[in-house]
Amino acid sequence: MKQRVECLGVDVSKYTLDVAVFNGNMDWNSSHIRITNDVKGYKELLNWLKGRGVSKDQLRFCMEYTGLYSQNFRLWLESQKIVYYMVNPLKMHRYEVPTNIKGLGRIKTDKMDAYRIAIYCLQNYQLMEPAKLPSQTYFKLKRLIAERKQYVKQGSLYKQQLHDISAFDTAEAKERKKDALKSLKESIRQTDMEIDSILKEDKAIYNNYNLITSVIGIGRVNAITTIILTENFTSITDPRRYACYIAVAPFKKESGISVQGKTKVSKMGFKQAKADLSIAVASALQGDPNLRMYWDRKKAEGKASGIILNAIKFKLILRIFAVIKRRKPFVKMDAYKFSCKE
Cα dist. 4→85, 124, 255 in Å?
18, 16, 44
Q: What is the pLDDT of residues 147-180, one digit of tens each?
A: 999 999 999 998 888 888 777 888 898 899 999 9
What is the pLDDT at residue 61? 97
Q: Which stretches of the chain score pLDDT less than 50?
A: 1, 251-256, 258-261, 264-269, 336-342
Backbone φ/ψ region at 233: left (φ over 0), alpha (ψ -120 to 50), beta = left
What is the pLDDT at residue 52? 86
What is the pLDDT at residue 2? 55
| Distance in angstroms (rounded) separating the CA atoms of residues 52 and 50 | 5
CATH number for 6-127 (one of 3.30.420.40, 1.20.140.10, 3.30.300.30, 2.60.40.420): it is: 3.30.420.40
What is the pLDDT at residue 104? 64
What is the pLDDT at residue 55? 87
pTM comes to 0.75
